[in-house]
Amino acid sequence: MDSPGVPRGVRIGLDVGTVRVGVAMSDPDGIMATPVATLRRDRSITYVVGGRLPTQLPDDVAELLDIMDERDVVAVYVGQPRHLSGKDGASVSMAVNYAALISQLRPEITVRLVDERLTSVTAHSMLTQAGRSTRHQRQVVDQAAAVVILDSALDAEKHSGVRAGISVPQ
């Protein structure tokens, strides 16, 4: 069940990579995260965060917005890739820009960045334990990482009574 300070509603977790975006979704009560999709990144359209929105959206962003609209999403948690030391990884600006674009396109939805250290390692481990071969893991590892990101955010919500992570500047 939701914490008293956290509004009820579907949350989405995103594992943003250079090639794919893993998407996971929670139930409206924030109890469980499930895999939804792996979106292939459309790098043909560039956008500038904080500036004018692009006239045409990258296919992955358009598809994500459709998923969000269909499910009445209230919050999006985007994994922020950090090194084990806590320092930002090389992909941080990519994840932050992706989150900021989603925030600009859907300002009524809370978009937060959450630490994603070890999510890929955890996702690979979960898939191996589930009997998935390494070769077949590539197809779903991004979704599994998104589930780990979202599960961690849901746990933080339950313990703190507030949305997890840090706000994304618009």
CATH numbers and ranges of domains, the chain? 10-167 (3.30.420.140)
pLDDT value at residue 120: 54
In tens digits, what is the pLDDT along the chain, a chain of 170 residues? 445 678 899 999 999 998 999 999 999 999 999 999 999 999 887 776 666 666 788 999 999 999 999 999 999 999 998 655 566 666 778 899 899 999 999 999 999 999 876 555 554 455 456 555 555 545 677 888 899 999 999 999 998 999 999 998 76
Amino acid identity, residue 66? D
- What is the tally of helices (H) and strands (E) in the chain? 5, 6
pLDDT value at residue 31: 93
Contact residues for 124 (Cβ-Cβ < 8 A; gap 6+): 137, 141, 144
Contact residues for 18 (Cβ-Cβ < 8 A; gap 6+): 41, 91, 94
pLDDT value at residue 157: 93
Cα-Cα end-to-end distance for the chain: 30
